[in-house]
Amino acid sequence: MNDATAAGFPVTDKAAVTASNAGLTLFLVGFLVLFLELACIRWFAAYVVFLQFFTNVIMLASFLGMSCGCLAAGSRRDWLKLFPLIVFVTVGAAIFTLEGYKHWQDIAVDMGAQSGSPQEVFFGTEYRNPDVARFTIPIDAVAGTFFVLVALMFAGLGQQLGRAFDVYPDRIKGYALNIGGSIAGIVAFSVMSFANLPPLVWFTVAFAGIAYLLWRRGTFGVVSALALAATLFGIWNELAVAAPRWDFKYHEVKWSPYYAVDFEARRREILVNTVGHQVMVPFDESGSFYSIIHLLKKHATGTPFEDVMVIGAGSGNDLAHALKHGVKHIDAVEIDPVIREIGIKNHPDQPYADPRVTKHLDDGRHYVKTTDKKYDLVVYALVDSLILHSGYANLRLESYLFTEEALADVARVLKPGGTFVSYNYFRQGWIVERVAAMAEKAFGCPATVISLPYKEVVDASTTAGGFSMIIGSCDPAIVNAFKEKGPLWLNTKPPLNMDVDGFTIQPETLPEDQRKGWEKVLPSKVTATPGLDLRITDDWPFLYIHDRMIPDLSLRAVVLIGVLGLALVFLFMPGRRLKLNLPMFFLGAAFMLLETKAVVQLALLFGSTWTVNSAVFFTVLVLILLANLVVIRMPVIKLLPVYVALFALIAANLVVPTDIFLEGGTLWRYGAPCALALGPMFFAGIIFAVLFRDEAAPDHAFGSNIAGSIVGGLAEALSMVVGFKLLLLVAAGFYVLSAIRRGKVAA
């Protein structure tokens, strides 16, 4: 194989052997890999049933495909030429699985006993019971299938990357070009996310880049063009996939930075990633549970709340009820711009148009931490995202709202005697118990737990069922209202509660035509679950996991992905010999854990928004680029001082508490924690660049490094046992192994 063929260009093209062509390939592949990875994470999370809770599968699959492609750089098989067929099959499989799940009601996906007593709760997945379904498919089988298919999609780009590295004369400059392309990719995708552009645009850009690579090599023919066009048609026809019914004219599908959002106008229903999420209800018709806290305040104290914060304002139901009950001002905090816009335009009560409402597009935890206002009431309004915060960790968008530190932040912004309330369909009693325990610790008084329909006892060891409300307040009027006045009677028609005192009304004494729709509201007793860990902290923010453990479902997925990944690496390895470059492998595993810790730490400081994620990934790539520039400018670098600096920063991250950055100037509050979280990556980048520069087989070294990233991604599951901070010890261990193996190789 000559240099032209290795670089991925036609042998007849005399210019193909030049550094500029290989450099263009490195830049373009860097762009396409990151851009396509982000597009796949978003699209497959929306259209593969329940894969939204396992988006790290798609991220790891893209890494695996790159690794396999690099390892196969010298192979005669052209994996990029196969890309159009592979992507057509993969996208078609996603559409088929969703359509099959929607229309064949006797199929269930096993998400870990969601209808019973699961080790981890996934909202919106419990409506089909695998125990009674005719056919049951384990979610790990679904995830494993798409893990392999998506990995094969990325193998061709990885192969071109490895071949270009083999040809480009300056290894580090080539890597810098590749990182530059990745930076361009994340910027381009972020711009499209900001503009709420649909997947058709994302994949058109990605496919155009891949078609260009194929055309330059003379391998883009009619079959390839038809396969890509057919795939784009399937992606464009997203309404047929997203909508649960065939009445398309009543559906409006838009893509927020988090979800595929489907608004069904007749029912005023919002689905996200094909799962029911919100329904806008007029105040005159239903939704009385939104009024409970306001009725309790009114009848216990005689006055309404004045200043209110609603976190998870969504499409506006909570706002409508608060406004009807006479609040003076509401700060409405919502993270998803598309869901909020649907509420602004379509909610029948138009709560967002009320001058008493101030809109804030922000992460709830970040808003609470940064506001200087004081409130009579803070509401967690059905905050239950159906997506992971990122592909790097098992965190959901609301995970950092439900920690001891988060409720301490809420206590700080409450006025004396202020009230906190969180309500949802929590599914499991032990979740209710945890939130109640944290509320008691934060506000200094036992929490009041209300269940609808009324339950005298919420058994925290079994399914909670129904609607649960946790009230944290030390206002004696609210605390003693039920003790002194008895049950609060609530009518399911909200207007009927406005002119009566629910504590004094007796439904059985009303005229017969007025007795319907009344339900009793009284506090429930929450029984204690023996051995349940009630401490949900910023370091262990896993409200929905029963114990400090890797749930069986996650453990099966880790094993399955590990086995499948090992098998694919073996198949792509030259000569079928499973021999990795171990120093580069360990560097990849360690760096992935560093990046995971940085993502979650900065989400905690700046919010779990997509813009924060994009900024973190952008900064990481810039730091890697800077590390490359240092290595270019300094041909001789002793790695011992670099390792020492790296371990010193890892140690600092372990011992320095993040809450010391909550007060002070801008540089201290923002610059210092960013430097602490991201600093290790700069020195890690220098170590990688120095080792990569000296490697005889760059394609094999780069492939081994990416394979290590997959191991690091799987090791993230340990955070569910030890928390995120101690993941740094695992990363440090990998760096020690890289140094030891490097010494052995050098010897």
CA neighbor of 469 nearest in space, from 536, 422, 435, 412: 422
Q: Where in the chain is the domain with CATH 3.40.50.150?
A: 275-385+404-526
3 state DSSP class of 613: helix
CA 643 to chain centre: 32
For 138-174, b/e burial (b = at least 16 CB within 10 A) is: bbbebbbbbbbbbbbbbbbbbbbbbbbbbbbeebbbb
Amino acid at 454: Y
Assign 3-state DSSP to the chain and report helix, strand, coil percentages, each to 5: 55, 15, 30
Backbone angles phi, psi at 712, to 5 degrees: -60, -40
C-alpha distances (whole Å) from 588 to each of 20, 60, 703 are 28, 12, 10
* pLDDT tens digits, 580-608: 899 999 999 999 999 999 888 888 888 88
Q: DSSP readout, 658-683?
A: GGGGSSS-HIIIIIHHHHHHHHHHHH
- Give the C-alpha separation, 40 to 55, whole Å: 9
This model's pTM is above 0.75? yes
Q: Tell me how crowded residue 454 is: count the other CB atoms within 10 A of its CB.
A: 15
Token digits of residue 152: 């094969």
Would you call 272 helix, strand, or coil by DSSP? strand
pLDDT in tens, 114-160: 777 888 888 888 777 777 778 888 888 899 999 999 999 999 999 99
> Which tokens sit at 359?
């809109």
Q: By three-state DSSP, how is residue 391 classified?
A: coil
The identity of residue 131, as a single letter, is D
CA dist 511 and 666 (Å) reads 64
Using alpha carbons only, give the angle 639, 642, 643 rounded to the nearest 5 degrees.
85
Tokens at residue 747, please? 């010897």
Partners of 254 in the beta sheet?
A: 261
Dihedrals phi, psi of 329, to nearest 5 degrees = -155, 140
- Alpha-carbon gap, residue 708 to 182, rounded angstroms: 19
Chain-centroid distance of CA 342 in Å reads 22
| Beta bridge partner(s), residue 423 | 381, 469
Radius of gyration of the chain (CA): 27
- Give the C-alpha separation, 646 to 745, whole Å: 21
- Per-residue DSSP letters for 639-657? HHHHHHHHHHHHHHHHHS-
Q: What is the pLDDT of residue 187?
A: 94
Which of 498, 576, 600, 541 minimizes the C-alpha distance to 56?
A: 600
Task: Look up residue 530 and give its two tokens.
Answer: 């023996």
Distance CA 157, CA 68 (A): 10
Q: What is the pLDDT of residue 478?
A: 86
Mean pLDDT of residues grouped by 10 in the chain (747 residues)? 44 42 91 95 89 87 92 89 96 89 83 82 80 83 94 95 89 92 94 91 96 90 94 77 51 87 90 88 93 93 94 95 97 95 96 97 93 96 84 84 95 95 91 94 93 86 77 89 90 92 88 85 88 89 92 90 91 78 93 91 83 87 92 89 95 86 72 88 94 87 90 92 94 94 59
Report d(CA 213, CA 28) in Å as an integer.
Answer: 9
How many Cβ atoms from other residues are within 10 Å of residue 691's Cβ? 19
Any idea which residue has 């193998």 for tokens? 155
Can you tell me the distance from the alpha carbon of 288 to that of 526, in angstroms, rounded to the nearest whole number? 23
Distance (Å, whole) CA 243 – CA 237: 11
Q: What are the residues facing 526 on neighbouring strands?
A: 458
* Rounded CA separation 187/193 (Å): 10
- Tell me what pLDDT residue 3 has: 45
- Contact of 331 with 310, CB cutoff 8 Å: yes
H-helix or E-strand spanning residue 419: strand 414-424
**Predicted pLDDT at 16:** 38
Residues with Cβ within 8 Å of 415's Cβ and at least 6 positions away in sequence, in order, are 307, 374, 375, 376
d(CA 392, CA 389): 8
Contact 502, 489 (CB under 8 A): yes
CATH no. for 580-747: 1.20.1250
Q: Alpha-carbon distance 644 to 637, whole Å?
A: 13
Ordered alpha helix ranges (H), 118-254: 139-167, 171-194, 199-216, 222-236, 238-242
> Which part of the chain is CATH 1.20.1250?
580-747
Contact between 104 and 49 under an 8 Å Cβ cutoff? The reply is no
Q: How far apart (Å, rounded) are the C-alpha atoms in residues 315 and 345?
A: 9
Q: Is 618 exposed, middle or buried (0-12, 13-18, 19+ CB in 10 A)?
A: middle
Phi and psi at 236, nearest 5°, equal: -65, -35
Who contacts 34 (Cβ-Cβ below 8 Å, separation ≥6)?
Answer: 181, 182, 185, 186, 189
What CATH superfamily classification does 275-385+404-526 receive?
Vaccinia Virus protein VP39 (3.40.50.150)
Secondary structure class of 608 (helix, strand, coil)? coil
CB 338 within 8 A of CB 407: no
- Please report how many Cα atoms fall inside a 13 Å half-sphere around the Cα of residue 617, on the Cβ side: 23
Q: Please classify residue 302 by burial: count the beta carbons closer than 10 Å to its beta carbon, then call 0-12 exposed, 13-18 middle and 19+ buried.
A: exposed
The vertex-493 CA angle with 491 and 496, nearest 5°, equals: 70
Query: Please, which residues bridge with residue 410 across strands?
Result: none
- Cα dihedral sign, 299-300-305-308: negative
Distance, in Å, from the CA atom of 602 to the CA atom of 260, rounded to the nearest integer, reads 25
Residues whose CB falls within 8 Å of the CB of residue 660, separated by 6 or more in sequence, listed in order: none
Q: What is the model's pLDDT at position 211?
A: 96
Distance CA 705, CA 586 (A): 7
Q: DSSP letter at 702? A: H
The residues near 588 (Cβ < 8 Å, ≥ 6 apart) are 704, 705, 706, 707, 708, 709, 710, 711, 712
